[in-house]
């Protein structure tokens, strides 16, 4: 199962929702083959890495499929990152080539990397490099994979490296097969992807749709009203969202919310917990077509829940569809129904955190069970309910934000004595970034210093990683060993759970 299986016809593999640009399966296969030839011409073999610092565009899939067909690991990088942040990922991943959109800071990246890594700019040096290359497949095709980046113990992101084994390109990864079967993806699927392709789910899902022979309709940038128009215009059958997108669509006025939803059969959501009232409102509006799944870039397991099941168990993320689900206490002992502990999966482990054996070790136990690091409980029928996260990852609108980067940066400001960064409730995004600062001069605490620190952070990090607000403390809670008791600070901003048996 592969997009090439459908290259005999002119059906679109890609439609850009805003511009209307299309790429047929035949065109996608030809362009991907040129990329594969380019990679081999640069001396890259199966298991090598390339990086993609690219906006949503047809270029994304031709490069991703070209790397996939050549057995490479391709590393998506957020276009929101500044050049120094993106360069860290390029270097850490060992990427030999960087493909970049002209809209990102190519000059800044070039100044940092120099001749260390070749950078090909879309619409410029990239187009010249692939133009003369063959559109036929390379002779030694083998299945590759994405290598996405997550948080590391130092605050720097860490690559999630899948265990690659040689396999034909037409043999999908088991996760892809699960998605295709679970959500009935086929050649009649028209799938709307409203999120950036540098995120794991949008990239993997659009590629799964193309493997099944369906069409991926890709928004260049999310807009609530435009998303509804795209659902109607393209007769979309499947779509995927995060809870923040639901909130924004529900905030539209009555006229903007009117659209023909008759073709829409699967509205899938994941990445961040969806508040029960928001999901209820979406069900009332779109009908019982909302499907939810829980998983992660590490692919250690997955749960899913359909609309009718959810209406009977509101707040659940479903039962296991990949792997065997376990809830364990701090000692690793399995817990019973309604007991809260660490969520683990058996039978799907197969990754390492690149250059971080400590973080890899924390993801597995002695039995080989693996975890995303989330806390939750199951009911008597095995339905999972998530309640917390093991670490202090901030989930803002489905995007994971790792507070250590902002915390480390703010700690270097001359006005800061001590600092903690964590997530606090946000009605639209679920969470937002908050900093609590102990100033060197207590008299300086106030709005002026808060604004200065926020601006200082935004000049050095991607805006979404920076605090949206800052509070001040005369003294920070620390253990005698010096460990910051961040949980005590965070607890002040969050409602305290009740009614569960926490272990």
Q: Decide if pLDDT at 153 tops 50.
A: no
Q: Where are the domains of the chain?
A: 3-221, 295-389, 403-491
- Homologous superfamily assigned to 403-491: ANL, C-terminal domain (3.30.300.30)
Q: Decide if pLDDT at 466 tops 70.
A: yes
Q: Decide if pLDDT at 14 tops 60.
A: yes
Taking only the tens place, the pLDDT of each residue in 101-133 is 999 999 999 999 999 999 999 999 999 999 999
Q: Decide if pLDDT at 481 tops 70.
A: no
Q: Cα separations (Å) of 488 from 127, 240, 477, 502?
A: 54, 36, 8, 17
Q: Cα separations (Å) of 281 from 274, 285, 313, 341, 497?
A: 11, 6, 16, 30, 24
Residue with the larger pLDDT of the pair 276 and 205: 205
Q: Decide if pLDDT at 456 tops 70.
A: yes
Taking only the tens place, the pLDDT of each residue in 27-75 is 999 999 999 999 999 999 999 999 999 999 999 999 999 999 999 999 9
Q: Decide if pLDDT at 24 tops 70.
A: yes
Fold type of domain 295-389: Luciferase; domain 3 (2.30.38)
Residue 300, Cβ density class (10 Å: 0-12 exposed, 13-18 middle, ≥19 buried)? buried
**Which pLDDT band, with edges at 50, 70 and 90, does 268 fall under?**
very high
The mean per-residue pLDDT over the stretch 2-6 comes to 90
Q: Decide if pLDDT at 479 tops 60.
A: no
**Which pLDDT band, with edges at 50, 70 and 90, does 395 fall under?**
confident
Tell me what pLDDT residue 74 has. Answer: 97
CB burial readout 310-345, b (16+ within 10 A) else e:
beebeebbbbbbbbebbbbeeeeeebeeebbbbbbb
CATH, domain range 3-221: 3.40.50.12780
Measured at the CA of 334, the angle between CA 330 and CA 336, to 5 degrees, comes to 115
Taking only the tens place, the pLDDT of each residue in 187-224 is 999 999 999 999 888 999 999 999 999 999 999 999 99
* Interhelix angle 174-182/200-211, nearest 10 degrees: 70
Distance (Å, rounded) from C-alpha 489 to C-alpha 484? 10
């Amino acid at each position: 199962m592969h997009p090439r299986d459908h290259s005999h016809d002119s059906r679109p593999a890609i439609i850009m929702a805003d511009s209307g640009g299309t790429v047929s399966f035949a065109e996608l296969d030809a362009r991907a083959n040129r990329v594969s030839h380019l990679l081999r011409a640069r001396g890259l073999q199966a298991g090598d890495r390339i990086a993609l610092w690219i906006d949503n565009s047809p270029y994304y899939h031709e490069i991703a499929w070209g790397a996939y067909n050549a057995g490479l690991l391709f590393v998506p990088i957020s276009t929101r990152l500044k050049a120094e942040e993106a360069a860290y990922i390029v270097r850490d991943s060992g990427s030999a080539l960087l493909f970049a959109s002209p809209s990102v800071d190519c000059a800044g990246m070039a100044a940092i990397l120099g001749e260390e890594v070749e950078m090909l700019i879309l619409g410029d040096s990239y187009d010249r490099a692939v133009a003369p290359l063959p559109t036929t497949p390379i002779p030694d095709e083998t299945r590759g994979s994405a290598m996405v980046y997550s948080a590391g113990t130092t605050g720097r992101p860490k690559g999630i490296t899948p265990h690659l084994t040689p396999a034909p390109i037409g043999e999908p990864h088991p996760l892809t097969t699960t998605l295709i079967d679970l959500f009935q993806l086929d050649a009649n699927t028209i799938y709307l992807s409203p999120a950036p392709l540098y995120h794991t789910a949008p990239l993997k899902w659009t590629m799964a749709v193309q493997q099944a022979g369906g069409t991926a309709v890709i928004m260049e940038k999310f807009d609530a009203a435009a998303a509804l128009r795209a659902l109607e215009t393209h007769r979309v059958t499947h779509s995927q969202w995060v809870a923040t997108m639901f909130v924004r669509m529900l905030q539209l006025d009555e006229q903007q919310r009117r659209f023909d939803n008759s073709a829409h059969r699967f509205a899938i959501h994941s990445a961040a917990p969806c508040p029960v009232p928001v999901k209820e409102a979406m069900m009332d509006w779109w009908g019982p077509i909302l499907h939810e799944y829980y998983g992660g870039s590490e692919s250690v397991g997955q749960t899913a829940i359909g609309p009718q099941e959810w209406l009977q168990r509101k707040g659940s993320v479903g039962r296991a569809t990949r792997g065997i689900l376990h809830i364990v206490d701090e000692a690793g002992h399995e817990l019973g129904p309604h007991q809260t502990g660490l969520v683990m999966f058996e039978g799907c482990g197969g990754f390492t955190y690149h250059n971080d054996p400590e973080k890899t070790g924390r993801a597995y136990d002695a039995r080989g069970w693996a975890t995303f690091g989330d806390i939750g409980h199951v009911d008597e029928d095995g339905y999972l309910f998530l309640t917390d996260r093991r670490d202090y990852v901030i989930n803002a609108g489905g995007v994971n934000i790792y507070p250590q980067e902002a915390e480390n940066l703010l700690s270097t400001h001359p006005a800061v004595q001590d600092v903690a960064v964590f997530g606090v409730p946000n009605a639209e995004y679920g969470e937002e970034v908050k900093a609590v600062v102990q100033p060197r001069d207590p008299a300086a605490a106030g709005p002026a210093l808060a604004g200065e620190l926020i601006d200082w952070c935004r000049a050095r990090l991607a805006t979404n990683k920076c605090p949206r607000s800052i509070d001040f403390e005369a003294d920070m809670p620390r253990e005698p060993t010096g460990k910051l008791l961040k949980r005590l600070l965070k607890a002040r901003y969050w409602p305290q759970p009740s009614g569960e048996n926490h272990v």
